[in-house]
Structure 1
Amino acid sequence: MAVDYTTRDGVAVITLNNPPVNGLGLATRAGIMDGLARADRDPAIVAIVLTGAGKAFSGGADITEFNTPKATQEPTLATVIRAVEGSAKPVVAAIHSVAMGGGLELALGAHYRVAVPGAQIALPEVKLGLLPGAGGTQRLPRAIGLEAALNMIVSGVPVMSEKLAQSGLFDEMAEGDVLEAALAFARRAAARDMGAGGTHPRLRDRKIQHDNAAGFIQFARNSVAAVAKHFPAPGKCIDAIEAGVLKGFDQGLAFERECFVALVQTPESRALRHAFFGERAASKIPDVPSDTPVRAIKQVAVIGAGTMGGGIAMNFVNAGLPVTLLETKLEALERGLATIRKNYETTVKKGKLTQEALESRMALIKPTLSYDDLAGADLIVEAVFEELGVKEQVFRRLDEVAKPGAILASNTSTLDLNKIAAFTKRPADIVGMHFFSPANVMKLLEVVRGKDTAKDALATVMQIAKQIKKTAVVSGVCDGFIGNRMVEQYVRQALFMLEEGALPAQIDGAIERFGFAMGPFRMSDLAGNDIGWAIRKRRYQEQPDMHYSKIADRLCETGRFGQKTGGGWYDYVAGDRNARPSALVDQMIVAYSNEVGRARRKIGDDEIVERLVFALVNEGAKILAEGIASKASDIDMVYLTGYGFPLSRGGPMLYADTVGLYNVERAMARYAAQPNGDAWQIAPLITELAAAGRGFNG
């Protein structure tokens, strides 16, 4: 049963019972309607209490019904709220734990609200590219005031119930059992309303009081436009609130619905919903059941105290897990510890961490120069130099000292995990944990599954990723895994375009206007151009037939490795990370084009964006076909959380679906006919899906 109906001394109790968060699916909505009708028919019932079982009042819409007919089938949430609001008997919402989205809108439709401290109150629809579609933009401003409501609706950020205690949202704050408090309140309300002629208060009837409301709304609109330029939903939230302020509740409600219907159709909302579901789907591995037993992880070790190793260690101590940090030299170990402390001190200065918390986290780190101190670790992560010979030394030593059942993880970003596993006698315990720099900040964790990786080892790493607040995506073994394998083709196209007529600032500018956090040349300067150079040198030996532009090699031969050397594709001033176009580099690029006999031409921004993004898409399609990624949304999550792909576009694979694979294939064929066109070997999966009129998703 999605809804339970009971009576308590003249009060009907309608309890939402749809775990885990009492989502307002069709069965729940219908159950509420049945409960209201049943209470209305019973002369012994004087009032109604609406509450939620378990861990929530209600978390809002049932996400399992998104994009299905049930989501809009009657009774809709708007119908339910009208019935609650129009009940002849007073309805009291008993709010605990969580009242979000449609759950809060349902509570706003009740005549009274009783809440306990500690409940999370929010209208988070804007995070899905939507606005509250069941009266939230109209009732919340009438409950807590225009400014507070607008801030909550536009940000989508939860507010704790006790902070809203004096706002007008709640009629009573209860200590202890919220249901008992609501029952007592309901009986008092029934008697009071009877004395008032049987009418019950409705939020729709409250006036919005605010000095110069029009001026405040315009100020809010200007502020939102500056920070949400790629997303229409925040502005539409303000429009709907404004309609309610200026035109009254009914017209505001109608306009809110119009905005909701329009926003559902936008590519930005589709992208945000795709990301929402993609993050949840990433943890689901087709052949690893959700109830797979996991190994206990109580002690962690990290090998390497450099920038990456230190950042990895911070993730675990932030989650309360003790870490043994190993280095080969005392100087490197002390430097690594100092960097970790400095990072925490910066957080303290920002007011996001207490000094006491800093010291407790540092106390969880045990520095060592001896592999023997790793014997008790349940999970060991190596973060040493990206060279197979170095990894071999580490894993052969780990095979000697690690206890049976310990998970041995490599932070490799490109190397063959199966070769690394072969250095041990325990390949089932070997897994890749590819963190992204800075490891203590970036959300993405590529979890690499070797051919012998045990299912329980994989499930354990996926669980620990949640514990350290990472978005974990599983990848099979290939050169570069998902992210770096794709980005190599992206950078390859960028270099070809330099050779053909573009310059670094133009390419970076075009892709950044598209929405990327950083263009390929700024990204390379930040990471270090020597990293890509090392990969290309390996490519020249392993894949001598692969065609590369040698422009980047020329840059590296001059020692311009990026920000760390004061110059790369751009010039930099000491202490300033701003990239300044370099006349020297631009001249080098033009000279290179002349040297290889490439006539330079004007390249438009549209071509730049298509060639960069479709290079990602093409390689992503090959990765899907090979089974390296199990689903397209996993590839999108890698790019949204690790590579700065614009959230408003939903990731490269969803963006390709939005453009249409027929159009993507035609563009690729056009670029394949140009100079450097041999790089466009169109993935058969794209041709197959385009011919069938299908996309990567759905």
Structure 2
Amino acid sequence: MSEIVTTERREDCLIIRVNNPPVNALGHAVRAGIVDALQETGDAKYAVLHCEGRTFFAGADITEFGKSPLAPSLADMIAALEDCPIPVIAAIHGVALGGGLETALGCDDRIIDRKARIGFPEIDLGIFPGAGGTQRAPRLTGMAATLSMILDGKHVDAARAVEIGLCDEISDGDLLENAIAFARKQTQKRRVKDLPPPQPDQAAIDAELAKAAKVRRGQVAVKKAAEAVIASAALPFEQGLEKERDLFLELIGGPQARAMRHLFFAERLSTRVDGLSVTPKSLGLFGVVGSGTMGGGIAMAFANAGFSVRLFDANADALKSGLEKIRSLYLASASKGRISEAEALDRFDRIQPADDWKGFAACDLIIEAVFERMDIKKAVFAELDRVARPEAILATNTSYLDINEIAASTKDPSRILGLHFFSPANVMRLLEIVRGEKTSDMALATALDAARNIQKVPVVSGVCHGFIGNRMLKGYGREAGLCMMEGAAPEAIDKALYDFGMPMGPLAMADLAGLDIGYDNRRSMTAGEDYDPLASLLQDRLVEMGRKGQKTGAGIYKYEPGNRLPQPDPEIASLIEQLADENGIRRRDVAADEIVERCMLALINEGVDILSEGVAQRASDIDVVYANGYGFPRYRGGPMFYADELGASHILERIGHYQDIHGAKWWTPSPLLRELAATGGTFGNWKKG
């Protein structure tokens, strides 16, 4: 018997203990240890499978991802549990996720701690439960509830687990003692595989697929999971297992699962910064300057994590309005059952208004979220310089501006950095942490720790206009605008990129954000050098006409009152043709494939420059930014992973093709792209000297 899996005999009960910290992952040693332990039943009348530490099995061993598992496989281990001659009771605490829940379903009964949760999160990796979960769970809870859990991927609490039949009893107090007491009442085996198959329910299956089609659009695992669950009713158990396995293997070796595994690891790697080894400061009190949509969202993000926040706005009416908005958002969450009303009010109470700048005197980290103008930003930092403690960290939420310039205007540039939240800041997971030229390691480490505490996915960026995400977006938007001037209708452009997997086309997105934002940004840029004026010709004209997007009821599209659905506008189609004619553009049919290719190649080429310049530490960091901040389809892995799937040589050839047609100004390949095309290297493996 290994040290990881041990047994203890307590009267008629065999206790199988697993201790594989930190999360009792179901690696080979665990699987083999459990199979060996099941040989020691002797004259025991029942067994309890119990995990030490903070949780039951939290899932597979991620170090085995993408590798052929050593025997016994997870399915083999579960079969051994099921074939054990005495009843085996799973004692669940913490979480039982993925293979952990499948393991519990291989036991005869399941007792669950009241605070524990179960779930099938595999869909987020482009797969579904592949060790019998799609065949056993429906025999306990039915096809609809099983498919709902699989396609949703979220956790189910103990009460719900018992209600739907996946667990048998809730435990209060000592879980192991309660599990032994529960086991004593079991007089015979109750193998899930021997239970009657579920009743076919195609209407319920169709309803779950319809829900998943909205949130998991384009993911092939959705229909494959449904096929597997349907097999639980249509086929005998063993044949159902075979069907599940065939479908699972088809997915796990496919491009979507490969892409989603890449993001799984990339999101864990993005928190690591080469050479950063200092211990972060302890943070208790946070400050936010600006009570608008972004400032309020940032305050909520910290309050949601249990922190106290001081919120200030130089405009007292704006501060009052911002607090009212925050309160209404919390109460709306309570009304939808997401949190209790008491918790909503507790979170709101954590956000206290500051009467003046002195309200930030005790704060450990202060974030500025005011209007995107350098003079206003510098004025805010001058005030913070005056009132903040010397050891406090000062951050700007700027989306584009030069953080080195902001830092240079302060007494201590080492404590200045960027914390670029994405709107709504209390919801969006991404946080770009912008490291200035003089930002200290302590400030950076503390910002990363703060991101973890508020459950954000952080990516560290260097300083450049737009940092990682918005800088790359420039070329993407440019090509969309040029395709429109060359002949593609706005709705055709948006549809092409929506069909690629983006949540919204770039022109509808521009309307949503407000056309005046780009218009104002371009006022400080040089046409022809910093941007192609033809690409934004329509947008600039629309702003000057008062059509700024959704907020004015019309932009590139028109909008009915109370309806955010973009409607093509014949007036705009005529205006596009007029502008094209005035600028000597001969319009033509632009195919969807060309639209997607041009937008993606522009995005990728800028990403390659960002990587080669060291603005991003690694290619996977760029993927994390785009998957979590810009809606790049997770099943494509992010723009740099997608680039590696296409291959550097292919990308270089296609950029050359567009250079021949459109010239070199916007179609000059990154030097790193040329290098990797010549050597056969990949962006994912490249590291700056």
TM score, norm. by length of structure 2: 0.93
Which of 489, 498, 517 is equivalent to 2:503? 517
Aligned to 1:395: 381
1:249 aligns with 2:237: yes
Letter of the 1:538 counterpart? S
Q: Deviations over 1:631-663 (max 9, x none)?
A: 222211211221122223222122222333332
Match of 1:683? Answer: 670
Match of 2:453 in 1: 467
Aligned partners of 1:175 and 1:352: how far apart in 2? 24
**In structure 2, the residue corresponding to 1:538 is in which secondary structure?**
coil
1:5-52 alpha-carbon deviations (Å, 9 max, x no partner): 333345443222221211111122122223233x15xx4655433211
Residue type matched to 1:319 in 2? A
Offset at 1:407?
0.7
- 1:484 deviates by 0.7
Secondary structure, aligned partner of 1:14:
strand
- Farther off after superposition, 521-530 or 569-578: 569-578
> Cα RMSD over matched residues?
2.5
**Which residue number corresponds to residue 197 of structure 1?**
none
2:337 counterpart of 1:338 = no
Paired residues for 1:444-593 under 5 Å: 444-540=430-526, 544=529, 547-549=532-534, 551=537, 552-593=539-580
Q: 1:336 to 1:47 in 2, by over 3 A?
A: closer
Aligned with residue 307 of structure 1, among 293, 310, 320? 293
Call closer, same or farther: CA 1:331–1:154 in 2, change over 3 Å: closer
What is the Cα deviation at residue 129 of structure 1?
1.5
In the alignment, residue 271 of structure 2 is paired with which amino acid? Answer: S
Equivalent position SS for 2:581: helix
Is contact 1:13–1:51 with CA below 8 Å preserved after alignment?
yes
The residue identity in structure 2 corresponding to 1:232 is V
Distance 1:218 1:19, change over 3 A: same
Alignment CA distance shift 1:683-1:85 (3 Å): same
For 2:271, the equivalent position in structure 1 comes to: 283
Q: CA–CA distance in 2 between the matches of 1:163 and 1:343?
A: 27
Residue of structure 2 equivalent to 1:206: 195
1:606 equivalent to 2:606? Answer no
**Partner-residue secondary structure (3-state), 1:507:** helix
Q: Is the 8 A contact 1:492 1:548 kept in 2?
A: no
Q: Greater shift after overlay, 612-621 or 233-242?
A: 233-242
Cα shift readout 1:31-80 (whole Å, capped 9, x = no counterpart): 2223233x15xx465543321110111012011221234xx221111111
The structural deviation recorded for 1:599 is 1.5
Query: Shift in Å at residue 220 of structure 1?
Result: 4.8
Alpha-carbon shift at residue 85 of structure 1 (Å)? 1.9
Matched, 1:435 2:421: yes
The residue that corresponds to 2:279 in the other structure is 293
- C-alpha distance in 2, partners of 1:585/1:282? 43
User: Given that residues 142 and 208 in structure 1 are in contact (C-alpha distance below 8 angstroms), is that contact kept between their aligned partners in structure 2?
Assistant: yes
Give TM-score, length-normalised by structure 1.
0.91
- 2-structure distance, mates of 1:22, 1:253: 25
1:646 partner amino acid: P
**Contact between 1:224 and 1:235, CA under 8 Å: does it hold in 2?**
no
The farther-off stretch of 506-515 and 250-259 is 506-515
Please, which of 132, 154, 163 is the counterpart of residue 129 of structure 2? 132
Give the distance between the partners of 2:361 and 2:214, measured in 1 at CA.
Answer: 53
Pairing 1:188-207 to 2, within 5 Å after superposition: 189=186, 192-193=187-188, 200-207=189-196
Residues 1:496 and 1:677: Cα distance change in structure 2 (over 3 Å): farther
Q: Quote how far apart the aligned CAs of 1:345 are.
A: 4.2
**Structure 1 167/27 Cα, relative in aligned 2: closer, same or farther at 3 Å?**
same
681-690 or 167-176, larger mean C-alpha shift: 167-176
CA apart distance, 1:107: 1.8
- Alpha-carbon distance change, 183 to 493 in structure 1, aligned in 2, over 3 angstroms: same
Amino acid at match of 2:607: G
| Residues 416, 478 of structure 1: 8 Å contact kept | yes
2:154 aligns to what? Answer: 157
Give the match's secondary structure for 1:571. coil
In the superposition, relative to structure 1, how do residues 467 and 239 fare at CA in structure 2: closer, same or farther (>3 Å)? same
Q: Bigger CA drift: 448-457 or 254-263?
A: 448-457
Aligned with residue 38 of structure 2, among 36, 39, 54? 36
Q: Which amino acid aligns with 2:648?
A: L
Name 2:659's counterpart in structure 1: 672
Structure 2: give runs of 5+ residues left out of the alignment: none
1:55 aligns to what? 54
* Residue equivalent to 2:395: 409
Residue 6 of structure 1 is matched in structure 2 by 8
Q: Find the residue that maps to 1:301 and give its secondary structure.
A: strand
Residues 283, 472 of structure 1: 8 Å contact kept: yes
Which SS does the other structure have where 2:414 is aligned?
helix
* Residue of 246, 252, 265 corresponding to 1:264: 252
Distance 1:221 1:411, change over 3 A: closer
Deviations 1:164-213 (A, max 9, x none): 33655445544322222333455665xx45xxxxxx33211111253x54
**Displacement of 1:622 after TM fit?**
1.0
One-letter code of the match for 1:586? A
- Quote the offset at 1:227 in angstroms: 5.8
Contact 1:115 1:170 in 2 (8 A): yes
Is the CA contact 2:297–2:426 (under 8 Å) kept in the aligned structure 1? yes
1:259-280 deviations in Å (ceiling 9; x for gaps)? 1000112322223222322222
Equivalent residue letter for 1:183: I
One-letter code aligned to 2:411:
K
Matched AA of 1:418: N
Specify whether residues 245 and 410 from structure 1 end up closer, same or farther in structure 2 by C-alpha distance, changes over 3 A only: same
* Distance change (3 Å), C-alpha of 1:163 and 1:247: same
Count of residue correspondences: 681
AA aligned to 1:314 is: M
CA contact (8 A) 1:118 1:162 kept: no
1:74 matched residue in structure 2: 71
Q: Aligned pair 1:180/2:177, yes or no? A: yes
Change (3 A) 1:577 1:224: closer
1:545 deviates by 7.1
Secondary structure class of the residue paired with 2:565: strand
1:111 and 1:354 map into 2 onto residues whose CA distance is: 35
What letter matches 1:176 in structure 2? G
Please report how far the alpha carbon of residue 283 of structure 1 lies from its aligned counterpart in structure 2 after TM superposition.
Answer: 1.7
| C-alpha distance in 1 between matches for 2:404 and 2:213 | 49
Q: Aligned partner of 1:625: which letter?
A: S
Gap regions ≥5 residues in structure 1: 194-199
Equivalent pairs: percent with the same residue? 45
Contact 2:126 2:251 (8 Å CA) reproduced: yes
Could you list the per-position Cα deviations for residues 102-150 of structure 1 after superposition, in whole angstroms to 9, with x for gaps in the alignment?
A: 1111122223433332221222222222111111111112233333333
Q: Residue 323 of structure 1: SS of its match in structure 2?
A: strand
Deviant stretches of 4+, over 6 Å: none
C-alpha change, 1:556 and 1:57, in structure 2 (3 Å) is same
CA offsets 1:215-251 (integer angstroms, 9 cap, x no match): 6546655665576441122222221122221221010
Distance 1:50 1:244, change over 3 A: same
Q: Is the 8 A contact 1:323 1:365 kept in 2?
A: yes
**Greater alpha carbon shift after TM alignment, 258-267 vs 357-366:** 357-366
What is the one-letter code of the residue matched to 2:610? I
Q: Give me the whole-angstrom Cα distance separating, in 2, the residues matched to 1:172 and 1:558.
A: 66
